[in-house]
């Protein structure tokens, strides 16, 4: 019975670290990488997805800044892009907490290229 509890705790730790890769973004990824020897593949996978999401958020931020010069239409497009980032962020957190290794739509393929 002790082995089951240890395995469950290990799985919970992996979920927690995978969740942190989305919740606190780059800091969570750095924590996973700093403790790489203790982390399993699940949290490292979500570290890659979280890093791709962070990079996508930076790109959206730059695009939104450029679109800010276009009245009304620029603001609407920027708002839509930020909503999409928010949806991906929530989806990533849900995947991490429900123990799923599903790549994020649109940007997930780039996250899988990170080999942590």
Q: Give the pLDDT confidence of 26-81 residue by residue, as tens digits.
A: 999 999 999 988 889 999 999 999 999 999 999 999 999 999 899 999 999 999 99
Tell me: pLDDT of 3 over 60.
no
CA distance 94 to 78: 24
Is 112 strand, coil or helix? coil
Q: Which residues of 85-115 are buried (b: 16+ CB within 10 A; e: fewer)?
A: beebbebbbebbeeeeeebbeebbebbeebe
The mean pLDDT of 71-92, rounded to a whole number, is: 96
Tens of pLDDT along 65-80? 999 899 999 999 999 9
Domain range list for the chain: 2-111
pTM of the model: 0.86
Which pLDDT band holds residue 6 (cuts at 50, 70, 90)?
very low
């Amino acid at each position: 019975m002790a082995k089951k509890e240890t395995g469950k705790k290990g799985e919970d730790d992996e979920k927690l670290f995978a969740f942190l890769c989305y919740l606190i973004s780059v800091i969570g990824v750095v924590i996973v990488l700093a403790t790489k020897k203790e982390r399993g593949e699940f949290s490292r996978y979500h570290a890659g997805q979280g890093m791709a999401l962070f990079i996508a958020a930076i790109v959206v931020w730059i695009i939104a800044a450029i679109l800010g010069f276009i009245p009304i239409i620029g603001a609407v497009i920027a708002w839509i892009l930020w909503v999409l980032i928010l949806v991906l962020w929530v989806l990533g957190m849900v995947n991490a907490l429900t123990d799923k290794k599903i790549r994020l739509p649109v940007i997930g393929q780039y996250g899988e290229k990170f080999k942590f």
